[in-house]
Amino acid sequence: MSDEKNQQVANVLEWLEASAAAHPDKVAFADDASELTYARLERGARSVATGLARAGAVREPVAILLPRGVLQPLAMFGVAYSGGPYVVLDSGSPRERLAKIVASMRPAQLLCCDETRELGEGLLPGRCLDVRAAASLEPDDELLADVRLASSPEDLLYVLYTSGSTGTPKGVMVTHANVASYVSWFADTFGIDESTVFGSQTPFYFSMSVSDLFACVRQGATMQIVPRALFSFPVRLVEFLNERRVNTLYWVPTALQIFSRWDVLSVAPLEFVRKVMFAGEVMPTPTLNYWMDHLPEARFADLFGPTETTDICTYYKVDRRLADDEPLPIGRPCEGLRAYVLTEDGRQAKVGEEGELYVGGPFVAKGYLGDARRTMQAFVPDPLDPARGLVYRTGDIVRMGEDGNLRYVSRKDTQIKRSGYRIELGEVEAAAVAVEGVGSCAAVFEAARDQIVLFCTGRKLDRDRVAKALRARLPHYMVPDRIETVRTMPLNRNGKIDRHALAALGASA
């Protein structure tokens, strides 16, 4: 890797400009219908920024409401050229949630297209700019140069909204410096280079997309944006990945489980994939072993972290085969970060002792937009050395293993107490997924009935056999009260298991 790429950039647009100069005719982003070369992406983004400036949106927040595809990165880099932060809206979300995000972000303009204009006008009347029309404008180079001169690495690049426990979305503020630090680590650690072809699964309003999108542009790589519909037709999905010569995947485990559940790779092998990374939820070890068996030459890595650390704060490069009932480590802190495991009384946890994960360093976001109270609760002075600044309380319960690798236990908000026992629902799930025949699972606590309900997928799954296996693996107070089988797990828009939908399903049973 060149010394230039190892140097920290002040603005992520420097990556785009360097890649456009080095690879003008190379495809940067492609979907099932169109593609953008680096030259077209750079010029189009500068044109979009010019259109935003003419509409009065210079160094102002901008909302992006577009269908999944190449128009989204075009719009994102266009907003970056205008000097403001962007928020990517999910056009499939309930209108009420979108309205809350718009009310929080207060965008000066909304970038839309013909397919989303009606919804956009309902959210931000009179301030919707067609991204295709803007991309056809002549760039105002003098104006854009002035915007760049006024920029700072600490400027916000985007705001990404996550679910809040109060029902109000939390807007995580991420800067150019955050992304520059994190993506440089990601690309260097996992050997992303100009030969990389990403198969993008995660939506652009989800923090995982930050990794492959910006690493792609930093390295002059290519991203193939996988159509969402293909995940319902896994053989066609393999055909798409092979046709586009995709060699690198960074997906949520639920998407990877589609292949193991239906044994797709035995009948439709992946020809080019050599890197498989995953994050966003716990990877079932049997699923990982399936992929390792079918892609023996590939490298695998478990990445872990919240949106508040840009994307990732710990990682584990899989260096051995694990037993099906052995939980996969989440590894060690990313280089350049400091991470602590603290007990409830503020002590640094010993090896094998559970505690909450705290993270500090350059990947850590600037807090929640317009929400000082929640920011102060989550971003706190370093409890071990306040002089080092703030750290983020992740809310994740972990423990350090004898091998020096962290292991995920559960979320603080999924810990329950019943009959005097503290129960980690994640531990129930880890035991269940190791049972032969269980495809995927999720444990839900029904407080009204004081019951743990385990939902499982699996062909011809014998619930009595699963229950018997769990009684042999778990203490009596952790054994689920009910086991429900479902044909497929309900998924949210990020492709992860929708636990709220399962809770509603369980309550109606």
> How many whole angstroms separate alpha carbon 328 and alpha carbon 320?
11
Q: Are strands 248-251 and 222-225 parallel, antiparallel or unpaired?
A: unpaired
Average pLDDT estimate for 29-36: 97
User: What is the side-by-side order of every strand in the sheet holding 197-200?
Assistant: 35-37, 27-30, 222-225, 197-200, 248-251, 275-278, 299-304, 314-317, 332-333
Would 87 be classed as within a structural domain?
yes
- Helix/strand/coil for 84: coil
Would 84 be classed as within a structural domain?
yes
- Give me the pLDDT at residue 1, please: 39
SS3 of the chain: helix, strand, coil, percent, to 5: 35, 25, 40
Query: Higher pLDDT residue, 109 or 447?
Result: 109
CA-closest candidate to residue 104, choices 156, 61, 49, 73? 61
pLDDT digits (tens, 9 = 90+) for 372-407: 999 999 999 999 999 999 999 999 999 999 999 999
3-state secondary structure string across 409-459: EEEHHHEEEECCEEEEHHHHHHHHHCCCCCCCEEEEEECCCCEEEEEECCC
Of 155, 173, 191, which closes a domain?
173
Helices (H), 357-424: 372-378
Amino acid at 369: L
Lowest mean pLDDT: which of 123-137, 287-301, 445-459?
Answer: 445-459
- Give me the pLDDT at residue 371, please: 94
Looking at every residue in the chain, the average pLDDT score rounds to 93
- Give me the pLDDT at residue 6, please: 57
Per DSSP, 383 falls in state S
- Give me the pLDDT at residue 5, please: 57
Question: Token match 């997309």: residue?
Answer: 209
Would 116 be classed as within a structural domain?
yes
Of 142, 173, 204, which closes a domain?
173
| 17 membership: H or E segment, kind and range | helix 13-22
Would 288 be classed as within a structural domain?
no
How many other CB atoms are there within 10 angstroms of residue 421's CB atom? 11
Q: Given a cut of 90, is residue 434 above it in pLDDT?
A: no
Average pLDDT estimate for 283-299: 96
CA-closest candidate to residue 429, choices 446, 413, 452? 452
Residue 339, both tokens: 């991470």
- Give me the pLDDT at residue 21, please: 98
Tell me how far the alpha carbon of residue 467 is from its chain's centroid.
33
> Quick one: pLDDT band at residue 64, thresholds 50, 70, 90?
very high
- Give me the pLDDT at residue 97, please: 87
Residue 321, both tokens: 């085969």
- Give me the pLDDT at residue 20, please: 98
- Give me the pLDDT at residue 32, please: 96
- Give me the pLDDT at residue 496, please: 82
3-state secondary structure string across 265-319: HHHCCCCCCCEEEECCCCCCHHHHHHHHHHCCCCEEEEEECCHHHCCCCEEEECC
> How many whole angstroms separate alpha carbon 259 and alpha carbon 247?
16
Per DSSP, 393 falls in state E
Residue 103, both tokens: 């009310």
Query: Higher pLDDT residue, 419 or 347?
Result: 347
pLDDT digits (tens, 9 = 90+) for 437-488: 898 899 999 877 889 999 999 878 899 999 999 998 888 888 999 999 998 8
Residue numbers of the domain that contains 486 = 419-508
CA-closest candidate to residue 202, choices 194, 190, 211? 211
- Give me the pLDDT at residue 449, please: 84
Amino acid at 195: S
- Strands annotated E in 14-72: 27-30, 35-37, 62-64
Would 340 be classed as within a structural domain?
no
> How many whole angstroms separate alpha carbon 47 and alpha carbon 509?
54
Would 167 be classed as within a structural domain?
yes
Question: Bridge-partner residues for 316, per DSSP?
Answer: 302
Amino acid at 351: V
- Strands annotated E in 75-122: 86-88, 109-112
> How many whole angstroms separate alpha carbon 160 and alpha carbon 310?
10
CA-closest candidate to residue 216, choices 237, 256, 186? 186
Q: Are 243 and 192 in contact (CB under 8 A)?
A: no
Would 80 be classed as within a structural domain?
yes
- Give me the pLDDT at residue 168, please: 73
- Report the CATH number that the domain containing residue 465 is assigned in CATH: 3.30.300.30
- Give me the pLDDT at residue 164, please: 58
> How many whole angstroms separate alpha carbon 287 and alpha carbon 251?
13
Amino acid at 71: L
Structurally, how many domains does the chain consist of? 2
Lowest mean pLDDT: which of 6-10, 99-103, 336-340, 414-418?
Answer: 414-418
Q: What contacts 24+ positions apart, CB below 8 Å, involve 406-412?
A: 406/304, 406/314, 406/329, 406/330, 406/331, 406/332, 406/339, 406/341, 406/357, 407/327, 407/329, 407/330, 408/282, 408/304, 408/327, 408/330, 409/354, 412/356
- Report the CATH number that the domain containing residue 129 is assigned in CATH: 3.40.50.12780
- Give me the pLDDT at residue 499, please: 86
Tell me how far the alpha carbon of residue 253 is from its chain's centroid.
11
Average pLDDT estimate for 64-79: 98
Would 493 be classed as within a structural domain?
yes
Question: Token match 């003419």: residue?
Answer: 54
Percent of the chain with pLDDT over 70: 97
Average pLDDT estimate for 364-371: 97
Residue 54, both tokens: 């003419």
Sorted by sequence, the CB contacts under 8 Å of residue 325 that are 6+ apart come out as: 285, 431, 434, 473
Of 140, 173, 206, which closes a domain?
173
Sorted by sequence, the CB contacts under 8 Å of residue 39 that are 6+ apart come out as: 20, 24, 25
Q: Are 215 and 208 in contact (CB under 8 A)?
A: no
Residue 413, both tokens: 């908000």
Question: Bridge-partner residues for 223, per DSSP?
Answer: 29, 198
Sorted by sequence, the CB contacts under 8 Å of residue 504 that are 6+ apart come out as: none
